[in-house]
Amino acid sequence: MRCSGKVAIVTGGAMGIGRAIVEALLAEGANVVIADRDGAEQAAQALDNAQNSLVGVACDVSSQRDTEAMASAALEAFGRIDVLVNNAGVYSSLELKPFEDLDIDEWRRVLEVNVIGQAMATRAVVPAMRRQGGGSIVNLSSGTPFKGVPFVLHYVASKGAVNAMTKALAKELGGADIRVNAVAPGFTLSDGVLKNPHQLEKLQEISRQARVIQRDQHPDDIVGAVIYFASQDSAFVTGQTLVVDGGAYFH
């Protein structure tokens, strides 16, 4: 029960990696706000149990109004915000293409959600964390910027920005005892990826063979690192990016 009594917000928490993180936080005793563009309330109803409080909030992280409403809903329900997991992102719907063929509107959407969305969600919760004397922000990044993965340049660029923001925000917020860290998964068989045969065909086998631990990566493989950063186990750790990819990249 490492997160007992804590209040955590998980963006993109209705399915996939986010849903696995929500379940892990609940198991560790946290009260959780699921913030997602679709299915947040249904996910909260499906996971609700007697031990924990769980709230679902409709939220598009690329909307400032939505992220502010997300923070307000958490405060209204639980009175505080201890953890923000910036999980919402655009990836599973993308097709691998040479950078010359990437649509400019798709570029903008990827950056709006993956970069500006994380920044706005963070900005929405920081005032509450300052008032209560601290908190933890966990950004979901990716191993792709470290490896220079081709054919998803907009995605790689967005997650490189997340890694940079993690370091800069750690310095800005450290004086308020707000820790900022990132978890960088490898290619993960999330719900969205499993619905994209193009990605599976191109990336599943090559990702598996590149790992020291040669198996597929699943959402449950990521949650331990998130819980570590969300809990007091990492009370003196900030500004770090932990690559969780079965040993495909050593960082």
User: Looking at the annotation, which residues are catalytic?
Assistant: 155
Residue that the structure tokens 């990566």 belong to: 217
- What span, in angstroms and rounded, lies between the C-alpha atoms of 155 and 142? 9
Q: Are 162 and 115 in contact (CB under 8 A)?
A: yes
Instruction: List Cα–Cα distances, 151 to 92, 139, 202, in angstroms.
Output: 14, 23, 11
Cβ-proximal residues to 201 (8 Å cutoff; 6+ apart), any chain: none
Residue that the structure tokens 């969780």 belong to: 244
Here the tokens at position 206 are 């090559």
Q: What DSSP state is assigned to residue 42?
A: H
CA of residue 41 relative to chain centroid, distance: 19
Q: 3-state DSSP helix/strand/coil percent for the chain, to nearest 5?
A: 50, 15, 35
Residue that the structure tokens 């940079």 belong to: 164
Q: Are 24 and 223 in contact (CB under 8 A)?
A: yes
